[in-house]
Amino acid sequence: MTVPNVDREEIWRVLRDLVAIPSVNPAFLGGTGEADVACYVENYLESNGIPYIVQTVSEGRSNVIGMLSGMRADRTLLLEAHMDTVQTTGMTIEPFGAKTASGRLYGRGACDTKASLAAMLVALGTLARSGRRPPVGVHLAAVVDEEYRYAGVAKLAQAIEAGELCYEAAIVGEPTGLSRVVAHKGCVRFRIEARGVAGHSSDPGKGVNAIEQAMEIVRYLREVVEPGYEALRHPLVGPPTHCIAQIEGGEAPNTIPGACKLTIDRRTVPGEDPLDVWARMKADLERFADETPGLTLMVHEPFIVDYAMEISTDEPVVGKLAHAVDRVKSGTAEHGAAYGTDASKLARVGVPSIVFGPGDIRQAHTDDEWVELAEVCAAADALAALIANYGNEEGEEQTA
Ligand SMILES: [Zn+2]
């Protein structure tokens, strides 16, 4: 089908509307949840004649899945974007002001990832209004909770695994500057607790200082564990890393600390299983404790496990998206990323997934978050072109 023109004014309006609706993840300070954005998405789909379903994830939190049918009933492409944002603490601009200046739109979520959601919505709306069916079906899943526990995409993945929904490929909206992330890291987060013996701090020798024990653990992680990461380097995402993200210890200024907890964020690379990584670190740390006089530690179960992902660049969606983006921006490419996205959860249930969207990841979660409007329009144009041409590969091959 011919690629319909995407209306700039409409994109600006939809993005402004989305940013003006607070949807801070309820796990964060001041978080009100995604319900109002979900309602906006439902209204947009309805007013464009696109059928949709609502997936309840938890009370007051639902995914909305718009369903545009195509010529082929057996083939469906998935566009996915999260509706939640991080907190607004420390922001230097009005978080929900949705102000525009010098071609940029400012506000929490403008870049991560309401720009992607707006581009996807308007691309779909434009195709629906054109009155012509795209070659393949297209679903747009606006999901909750990407910024915390991925409960939204988990619910979507459940439905895919159960065979209720079926996709041949997915585009996951995140700020990639219109380049395509074809591999990204995963993570395993857990706590290590050093256990000392509390006592009166006037006589430190009478107890065992858990903070000093924790320092031994930090040193071990840096000097013994970290040097091993280089051997695991992945060509697109680099080596694994760990960050000691939090430390908590001590009871009072005059007490030998009896316990000290470290929170570890270990980033995994494609091919590593986060649970195996955790089990290996646990075994290594326990061995280290056995060999270190006075050190008692406990490695807690992971509280977050997220898989890395990698899509083969031979997957048709990779080339098709690159082709569609080339129409609107030159110099973009496929690359890897250190951060995680919903794409890994879709890839785990067999949907080849690629991360793509307008905006710069360096703008995500910042104090003056913004996105360039021209790039949001370019993303919508690319998505509309991708969808309009998606099922044409047989024809393309014939004329090649
Ligand atoms: Zn995001």
Q: For residue range 104-127, list pLDDT tens digits in order.
A: 999 999 999 999 999 999 999 999
CA angle centred on 322, ends 319 and 328, rounded to 5° = 150
312-335: burial string, b at 16+ Cβ within 10 Å, e else: eeebebbebbbebbeebbeebebe
| 72 shares its domain with 84 | yes
| 150 shares its domain with 200 | no
Q: For residue range 381-396, list pLDDT tens digits in order.
A: 999 999 999 987 654 4
Which run of H or E residues covers position 159? helix 151-161
Question: Distance between CA 188 and CA 249 in Å, rounded?
Answer: 22
How many angstroms separate the Cα of 365 from the Cα of each of 185, 206, 248, 308, 370? 19, 46, 25, 21, 10
Expressed in angstroms and rounded, the spacing between residue 150 Cα and the centre of ligand 1 is 11
Expressed in angstroms and rounded, the spacing between residue 141 Cα and the centre of ligand 1 is 14
Beta bridge partners of 192: 262, 299
Expressed in angstroms and rounded, the spacing between residue 128 Cα and the centre of ligand 1 is 26
CATH number at residue 274: 3.30.70.360
CATH number at residue 130: 3.40.630.10
Mean pLDDT of the chain: 95
Final residue before a domain boundary, out of 285, 306, 327: 306
Length of the chain: 400
> Does a structural domain hold residue 126?
yes
Q: Beta strands of the chain (E only): which ranges? A: 52-58, 61-68, 72-82, 100-101, 104-106, 136-143, 169-172, 180-184, 186-195, 199-200, 241-249, 255-256, 259-268, 297-299, 304-306, 309-310, 334-337, 353-356, 370-372
Total domains in the fold of the chain: 2
Expressed in angstroms and rounded, the spacing between residue 56 Cα and the centre of ligand 1 is 20
Three-class secondary structure of residue 355 per DSSP: strand
> Does a structural domain hold residue 2?
no
Expressed in angstroms and rounded, the spacing between residue 23 Cα and the centre of ligand 1 is 13
Q: Give the tokens for residue 51.
A: 């059928």
How high is the pLDDT of residue 250? 95
* Low-confidence stretches of the chain (pLDDT beneath 70): 393-400
Q: Which domain holds residue 262?
A: 186-306
Expressed in angstroms and rounded, the spacing between residue 146 Cα and the centre of ligand 1 is 7
Expressed in angstroms and rounded, the spacing between residue 232 Cα and the centre of ligand 1 is 27
Expressed in angstroms and rounded, the spacing between residue 75 Cα and the centre of ligand 1 is 27
How many angstroms separate the Cα of 289 from the Cα of each of 198, 220, 241? 19, 10, 22
Expressed in angstroms and rounded, the spacing between residue 173 Cα and the centre of ligand 1 is 8
Three-class secondary structure of residue 73 per DSSP: strand
